[in-house]
């Protein structure tokens, strides 16, 4: 028993009925400031308060109300969370237990288990959950605006263009005809821009037909608008995957190609998408300027950060390989979660 007391990774302290510390194991001595520990052993009133920052009650707040150390119902504190101002580590959360082990002599034991790692994991899980909600909301709003532009604004503009074309046959006035043609051309350009914006926000092909169709449509548009040729090849076991997975792959590819357009100084990019066991692997490669990994990126650097974050949220990984003058390769690997229709 004594060996367990000395070797335990949990901090253990024994107190008498007067609140004086009778013993403290090495783990407790390691986390408590020397002056605090001395005051505890001397039985100084409020010695523990020098290190304690309160415990978490049912309201979820750090509090000193009904202190566990002085509460008459001591057995109510057999399991609770508290915060200690520790030596060299600052404020640390602990899973704690404070209860009587020898009623006859009124001896109580105080056990402390460091919960820092668990708290970090919980915070990370919470952050990931919130980020997923934000991205889902973002994509849903993109989808709504995209369809509103396509089915509402674009249709109204198309009707106006048709009316102008009809109007050309209703007058012989050269000046009026010239103005009508100019207006028709302006509206036609605006209509094309709105259609492109609608697709950029959220391509309907991605929701209706899947990655293959969305990619081919996107790459064709890139060639028409920017003169960028995309060499695309794929080898997918099934046509459809979970919406979240398809969205991540599409957005990462979209961002990777956009970065190549902005910074790589290339007119050709290769894209491959294939299944590798239980995962889908997307590779986007250019032979452009490249950069030194770890160096300050051109632009804000938010593009790479956003791609990595999207990958991590679905249990994927994103690897970036680059060298100056040798181009850049971005490799995304995500779980191959199939869509409902392909299960």
- Structure tokens belonging to residue 111: 């056990």
- Structure tokens belonging to residue 197: 């914006």
- Pair 328, 322: CB distance under 8 Å: yes
**Rounded distance, CA 202 to CA 217, Å?**
12
Strands 107-114, 11-15: pairing kind: antiparallel
Q: What pLDDT shows up at residue 274?
A: 95
Residues 23-48 pLDDT 10s: 889 999 899 988 888 888 888 888 88
Q: What are phi and psi of 339, to 5 degrees?
A: -70, 165
- Pair 253, 212: CB distance under 8 Å: no
The residue among 101, 60, 106, 102 whose CA lies nearest residue 80 is 60
Q: What pLDDT shows up at residue 343?
A: 47
Strands 229-235, 279-286: pairing kind: unpaired
Of 68-82, 183-197, 294-308, the range with the highest mean pLDDT is 183-197
What does each C-alpha distance from 159 to 150, 177, 190 come to in angstroms? Answer: 13, 18, 13
Q: What pLDDT shows up at residue 100?
A: 85
Mean pLDDT, rounded, for 160-171: 85
**Rounded distance, CA 282 to CA 250, Å?**
9
Residues 228-282 pLDDT 10s: 999 999 999 898 999 999 999 999 999 999 999 988 889 999 999 999 989 999 9
Residue 75 has pLDDT above 60, yes or no: no
Q: What pLDDT shows up at residue 246?
A: 94
Residues 279-328 pLDDT 10s: 999 999 999 988 877 666 566 667 888 899 999 999 999 999 998 888 99
- pTM of the complete model: 0.67
Residue 333 has pLDDT above 90, yes or no: yes
3-state secondary structure the chain: CHHHHHHCCCEEEEECCCCCEEEECHHHHHHCCHHHHHHHHHCCCCCHHHCEEEEECCCCCEECCCCCCCCCCHHHHCCEEEEEEECCCEEEEEEEEEEEEECCCCEEEEEEEECHHHHHHHHHHHHHHHHHHHHHHHHHHHHHHHHHHHHHHHHHHHHHHHHHHHHHHHCCCHHHHHHHHHHHHHHHHHHHHHHHHHHHHCCHHHHHCCHHHHHHHHHHHHHHHHCCEEEEEEECCCCCECHHHHHHHHHHHHHHHHHHHHHHCCCEEEEEEEEECCEEEEEEEECCCCCCCCCCCCCCCHHHHHHHHHHHHCCCEEEEEEECCCEEEEEEEEECCECHHHC
Mean pLDDT, rounded, for 68-82: 70
The residue among 40, 99, 45, 103 whose CA lies nearest residue 71 is 99
Residues 194-226 pLDDT 10s: 888 888 888 889 999 999 999 999 999 999 889
Of 16-20, 74-78, 184-188, the range with the highest mean pLDDT is 184-188
């Amino acid at each position: 028993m004594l060996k367990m007391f000395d070797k335990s990774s949990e901090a253990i302290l024994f107190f008498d009925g007067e609140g004086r510390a009778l013993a403290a194991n090495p783990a407790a001595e390691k986390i408590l400031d020397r002056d605090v520990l001395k005051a505890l052993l001397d039985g100084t009133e409020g010695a523990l308060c020098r290190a304690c920052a309160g415990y978490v009650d049912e309201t979820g707040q750090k509090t000193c109300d009904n202190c566990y150390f002085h509460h008459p119902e001591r057995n109510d504190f057999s399991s609770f969370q508290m915060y200690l101002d520790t030596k060299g580590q600052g404020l640390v959360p602990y899973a704690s237990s404070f209860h009587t082990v020898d009623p006859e002599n009124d001896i109580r034991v105080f056990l402390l288990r460091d919960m820092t790692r668990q708290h970090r994991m919980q915070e990370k899980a919470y952050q990931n959950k919130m980020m997923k909600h934000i991205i889902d909301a973002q994509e849903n709003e993109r989808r709504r605006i995209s369809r509103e532009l396509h089915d509402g604004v674009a249709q109204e503009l198309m009707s106006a263009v048709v009316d102008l074309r009809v109007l050309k046959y209703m007058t012989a006035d050269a000046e009026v005809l010239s103005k009508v043609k100019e207006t028709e051309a302006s509206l036609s350009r605006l209509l094309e821009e709105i259609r492109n914006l609608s697709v950029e926000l959220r391509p309907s092909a991605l929701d209706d037909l899947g990655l293959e169709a969305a990619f081919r449509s996107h790459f064709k548009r890139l060639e028409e608008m920017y003169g960028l040729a995309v060499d695309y090849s794929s080898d997918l076991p099934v046509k459809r995957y979970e919406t979240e997975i398809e969205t991540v792959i599409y957005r990462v590819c979209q961002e990777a190609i956009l970065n190549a357009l902005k910074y790589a100084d290339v007119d050709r990019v290769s894209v491959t998408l294939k299944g590798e066991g239980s995962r889908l692997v997307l590779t986007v490669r250019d032979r452009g300027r490249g950069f030194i990994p770890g160096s300050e990126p051109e632009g804000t650097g938010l593009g790479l950060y956003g791609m990595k974050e999207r990958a991590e949220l679905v249990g994927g990984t994103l690897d970036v390989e680059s060298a100056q003058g040798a181009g850049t390769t971005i490799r995304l690997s995500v779980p191959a979660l199939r869509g409902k229709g392909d299960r």
